[in-house]
Chains A and B, each alone.
Chain A
């Protein structure tokens, strides 16, 4: 298939109108490339048919890593490497002194789960400092909603459909670099 370089931008001013437009476009079996909104629209991902996020599963695994790090670290330092008697706390085995280690085990679990999850989020959504913004229309950060659909020689048909769904503005953009 020849790679299409033309896209259509339909601009809406209301999130409810946008939602019904998305449903209609999906019903007509057009592929929505992207939607830009100024704020989270509840239920938009479901209407678009996006796969659910797996970031919670990643966070759980990061938490397990953090717990393991805490246990291994303190077992080595406090029990194996230099088992001193500090204030009469039993340092003969890890389990005997475990209550004293729980606060650190907990905090490291949370630390790893939270920070690695955030970093994962940044990587997966390609966000970093000095990254060039990919905003097709600056108004979408304020009060406009934009739906982007690729054109495959069906310019007229698509434009009519989008007009019908309540788009206030329809632009055809050539994305060729």
Chain B
């Protein structure tokens, strides 16, 4: 049995407290009055030669066409525009702590969900190498229920004025916006608050029911007779069924929880793309937790071949992620249809460093670091590659959400980092508490002998 070390517990609680303070600070400093925003914009435009000044000049020139009141009208238009722009920026600034919280919450939820999918695949495929890691995976998936409820909670709270939000993440939740937007009106059969909540609860209920029974059968298999494999067979069947449910709900979840922040944009392989991101992050976290527990001497049956296999998955799925990222990007770039290409135009204009940096972190790094099969057996090497991959996939989620909510007002500062700390602390607390609940070796699994002697 694993006991949660006091040091790690204190560390996770410290992370949560620091994170909460930072998140609170983020929310407190994001409420700017319109006048504040205007002075800020004025300072900015004077500081860098006035990109906005050009816009004003352009408006004045346009005003000259109506020759009579040209001067007055031009000034009026530009002032009106300035007001609208300031309001827009004010809204973006107010969105930032919400988005930061949402990105971090989603990132840690998606790790647990990715691990759950990996776990189900191991059962459905009757993999012989991985049973020694099942308890680690079960521990990580314990975060799924709280994590997913938090994500849904933040999404709903941001879109309801009575829960403190002001339509900060999803514009389609704002009835004002929908009233003036024919495109969103056309989608309102899918994109409406009731449907969003019901679908979200169905997804979470399905995933967590599988997780609950998988865990139950896994423990029951431990305590069953030597030749009694009934629990394993049940687990096999529900895993296969879960994978079918998962691939549908994961896809819909990605439309609901991520793609709908840009309700004018759509992409058909988006669900797969989000899946690849969560799958590789999940596998990376399995590897990191396994290495941690192994370093404490708690997983005596895990050898460097298990690590090698996990690192191979990290390598392979990183490339799979890149394949999907590039397929989505290149198809849109190539055809250059205005209605869908704006998605990448904003990312190239305002998010160049994170957008291209994440490709380096999620593709080039793992490609070069994890290609050599000797390196895949060295724990610190896998940890280093894993940290880069996890940071890269955080930025991936960041790039999906932020451009739609805060636009060019993004920065990875206190709200973002403290949100990560908050959910990282919660994640560590939940996962390692769950790990103490059962022996780390699932001895009743019919493949456990094979797994203990696995070598590659």
A49 lies within 8 A of chain B by Cβ: no
A88 lies within 8 A of chain B by Cβ: yes
Contact A102 B326 (CB under 8 A): yes
A129 lies within 8 A of chain B by Cβ: no
Contact B330 A102 (CB under 8 A): yes
B333 lies within 8 A of chain A by Cβ: yes
A88 to B336, CA, bound (A): 10
Q: B371 — which chain A residues lie within 8 A by C-beta?
A: 60
Shortest CB-to-CB span from B328 to chain A, Å, is 11
Q: A56 — which chain B residues lie within 8 A by C-beta?
A: 373
Shortest CB-to-CB span from B208 to chain A, Å, is 40
A123 lies within 8 A of chain B by Cβ: no
A40 lies within 8 A of chain B by Cβ: no
Contact A99 B329 (CB under 8 A): yes
Contact B336 A100 (CB under 8 A): no
Contact B333 A99 (CB under 8 A): yes
Most central of A56, A88, A99, A100 by chain B CB within 10 Å: A99
A56 to B330, CA, bound (A): 30
A60 to B367, CA, bound (A): 12
Contact B330 A99 (CB under 8 A): yes
Interface residues of B in 328-350 (CB under 8 A from A): 329-330, 333-334, 336
Q: B329 — which chain A residues lie within 8 A by C-beta?
A: 99
Q: B326 — which chain A residues lie within 8 A by C-beta?
A: 99, 102
Interface residues of B in 372-388 (CB under 8 A from A): 373
Shortest CB-to-CB span from A72 to chain B, Å, is 20
Q: A100 — which chain B residues lie within 8 A by C-beta?
A: 330, 334
Instruction: Bits for A48-86, please: 1 = Cβ < 8 Å to B, else 0.
Output: 000000001000100000000000000000000000000
A56 to B326, CA, bound (A): 26
A60 to B372, CA, bound (A): 10
A89 and chain B: residue at smallest CB distance: B334
Contact B336 A99 (CB under 8 A): no
Shortest CB-to-CB span from B418 to chain A, Å, is 36
A100 to B335, CA, bound (A): 11
A60 to B336, CA, bound (A): 35
A57 and chain B: residue at smallest CB distance: B372
A56 to B372, CA, bound (A): 9
Q: B333 — which chain A residues lie within 8 A by C-beta?
A: 99
A99 and chain B: residue at smallest CB distance: B330
Shortest CB-to-CB span from B315 to chain A, Å, is 14
A60 and chain B: residue at smallest CB distance: B371
Q: A60 — which chain B residues lie within 8 A by C-beta?
A: 371
A88 to B338, CA, bound (A): 14
Instruction: Bits for A93-126, please: 1 = Cβ < 8 Å to B, else 0.
Output: 0000001101000000000000000000000000
Q: A102 — which chain B residues lie within 8 A by C-beta?
A: 326, 330
A90 to B76, CA, bound (A): 40
Shortest CB-to-CB span from B325 to chain A, Å, is 12
Q: A99 — which chain B residues lie within 8 A by C-beta?
A: 326, 329-330, 333-334
B372 and chain A: residue at smallest CB distance: A56
A176 to B334, CA, bound (A): 68
A100 to B332, CA, bound (A): 11
A56 and chain B: residue at smallest CB distance: B373
Q: B334 — which chain A residues lie within 8 A by C-beta?
A: 99-100
Shortest CB-to-CB span from A42 to chain B, Å, is 11
A89 to B280, CA, bound (A): 34
A102 to B334, CA, bound (A): 12
A114 to B447, CA, bound (A): 36
B331 and chain A: residue at smallest CB distance: A99
A88 to B334, CA, bound (A): 10
B326 and chain A: residue at smallest CB distance: A102
Shortest CB-to-CB span from A66 to chain B, Å, is 15
A100 to B371, CA, bound (A): 26
B336 and chain A: residue at smallest CB distance: A88
Shortest CB-to-CB span from A35 to chain B, Å, is 22
A60 to B370, CA, bound (A): 13
B373 and chain A: residue at smallest CB distance: A56
A95 to B259, CA, bound (A): 28
Shortest CB-to-CB span from B221 to chain A, Å, is 31
A56 to B373, CA, bound (A): 10
A88 to B329, CA, bound (A): 17
Q: B336 — which chain A residues lie within 8 A by C-beta?
A: 88
A123 to B146, CA, bound (A): 59
A88 to B341, CA, bound (A): 15
Shortest CB-to-CB span from B156 to chain A, Å, is 38
Q: Which residues does B use to contact A, with CB under 8 Å?
A: 326, 329-330, 333-334, 336, 371, 373
Q: Top 4 closest A-B pairs, CB basis?
A: A99-B330, A99-B333, A100-B334, A102-B326
Starting from the known contacts A99-B330, A100-B334, 8 additional A-B residue pairs (CB-CB under 8 Å) come to: A56-B373, A60-B371, A88-B336, A99-B326, A99-B333, A99-B334, A100-B330, A102-B326
Interchain Cβ contacts under 8 Å between A and B, 12 examples? A56-B373, A60-B371, A88-B336, A99-B326, A99-B329, A99-B330, A99-B333, A99-B334, A100-B330, A100-B334, A102-B326, A102-B330
